[in-house]
Structure 1
Amino acid sequence: MYQEEGDTMDGGPAAGAEAAARAAATGPGLAHLLVSLQLTDSAFPSGFYTLSHSLEGFAHARAVDSATLPLLLESMILHGVGPADATALALAHRACRAGDPGAVAAVDEHLFATKLGQEMRRAATRTGRQLLDLASEVFDRPEIDDYHARVERREVPGTQAVAAGVVYAATGVPVRQAVASDLFAFCASFAGAALRLRLTDHRKAQSLLHGAAPVIEEAVEAALRRELPDVGATLFASDIMSGRHERAEARLFAS
């Protein structure tokens, strides 16, 4: 029977292209994306929902409102989370992939030491331990199990960013995707806290997340270029608000 060019009945070029598309859609890249989506989902019980990342302190001081919220988030990404946690995640990811647990521990200890406030240190280690505990069960990777055991033995702090770096590396998620995913998770947590503090509404929260995308991209590229001595935040207003929050009589969030 005569067939037009591109007809798929005899497995011609169109059929080959369709098969290639199916193979690409089900390849390992999608598996890594699914891991990232699972870890950044607000339903993943890492404890992020208990944190405002010092936003509650800003709200108590009336130092932020709906108009200045995007600027505060940008500052936190570029001068706080990006140089500190995102950079530590990238370094821990590389060290884990290189099979160097000592280097992972060094990143963990350095990041912990840069967190000036007790509240922020506790938040980082509590969420890090929860992440490792659940990831050890869900993903069943020896690198995660080993680092989780070290955290349980109190050999290392187990900060959230380093724990995430280990989990992403062990599950094969590329480092750039891992850093971007964790920064997005921070932004989503920040937006969720803003909602609960009535600093925004659900529609504006989505605009806040969308508007943060270019800032996340900039922070990712910067984090990938830094080395261990560069790890640390310079957002001192956030440290001050966190310190005030520790002593507040009424608190909705743990940080």
Structure 2
Amino acid sequence: MTSATSLLTCLQLSDSAFPSGFYTMSHGLEGFSQARLVVRDDLEELARGMLRHSVGPADATALARAHDAVRVGDWERVVEVDSLLHASKLNTEMRKASVRSGHQLTDVALQAFGGPELARWSEMVTTKATPGCQPVAAAVVHASRGVGVEEAVVSDLSAFAASFLGAALRLRLTDHVHAQVLLHRLAPEIAEVATSAVERELDDMGGFVPMADVVSAQHERAPARLFAC
């Protein structure tokens, strides 16, 4: 059973007020919007596609495998997962955004929670021994706080969904009520994607979202951008 402390950690990290850097990210949505490939009625399908074919197979899987490694103190494995995830992100801005958010999450969590695991991870990131991608940073935080792997993955996927829909709000693709309706509808998808990520081996990590990669590449060169990615 998840302890109250672990549950509170999940809630704190997935809260949109937590300064992890997610506020600066649209997770590719701004690129789709700039290319006029998404409208209000497309948001749910696009979010589901990103969860099932991108975030779940890549970020959530990396989080699960890094979480396992932290729990047994295998820091070489943590670096391996982090490096593979970083290399799997094809676009420069996606890599930079993940690393920037990961570093921010590490800094805030170290001050908020402390602990030897976070201190060691922070030193590794600071000395550039590892890229420090956001999902792996989240894995270190959750594992160090005693949060189970499935709960950690669900928390991070929920944070992604909330951030994605928050970006939709700022891009005027939806309103607050509709965003909450969509977030509720995405819950079964998040649960299914989380289960798959927890069971997936590291060798099978990696998403396949060619259209998202294309619009992200275009977004990198956009004359005006509201979001970092």
> Which digits, 9 at most, give the CA deviation of each residue in 1:44-86, with x for residues without a partner?
1111000000100000111011111100000000000000000
Residue 216 (str. 1) matches residue 165 (str. 2):
no
Alignment partners' CA distance in 2, 1:51 and 1:124: 9
Question: Among residues 172, 175, 182, which one is paired with 2:146 in the alignment?
Answer: 172
Establish whether residue 154 from structure 1 lines up as the match of residue 117 from structure 2: no
Root-mean-square deviation over aligned CA pairs:
0.9
Residues in 2 aligned to 1:220 and 1:176: alpha-carbon distance in whole angstroms: 7
Do 2:154 and 2:190's aligned partners in 1 also have CA atoms closer than 8 Å?
Answer: yes
Q: How far 1:183 sits from its partner (Å)?
A: 0.0
Equivalent residue, structure 1, for 2:87: 113
Query: Aligned with 1:67: secondary structure?
Result: helix
Aligned to 2:37: 63
Distance in structure 2 (CA, Å) of the matches to 1:49 and 1:37: 17
If the length of structure 1 is used for normalisation, what is the TM-score?
A: 0.89
**Partner of residue 99, structure 1:** 73
- Say yes or no: does 1:145 pair with 2:119: yes
The one-letter amino acid of 1:252's match is L
Q: Give the match for residue 243 of structure 1.
A: 217
2:23 matched residue in structure 1: 49
> Identity of aligned pairs, percent?
54
**Using CA pairs below 8 Å that are at least 6 residues apart, which structure has the higher relative contact order?**
2
Would you say 1:131 and 2:81 are equivalent positions? no
In the alignment, is the contact (CA less than 8 A) between 2:83 and 2:130 conserved in 1?
yes
Q: Does 2:47 align with 1:77? A: no
Q: Is 1:252 paired with 2:223?
A: no
What is the one-letter code of the residue matched to 1:228? L
The equivalent of 1:7 in structure 2 is none
Residues 153-174 of structure 1, C-alpha deviations (whole Å, 9 max, x = no match): 0110000000000100000011
How many residues align structurally? Answer: 229
Other-structure match for 1:18: none
CA displacement at 1:137 relative to structure 2: 1.0
Deviation at 1:152, TM superposition (A): 0.5
SS at 2:41's partner residue? coil
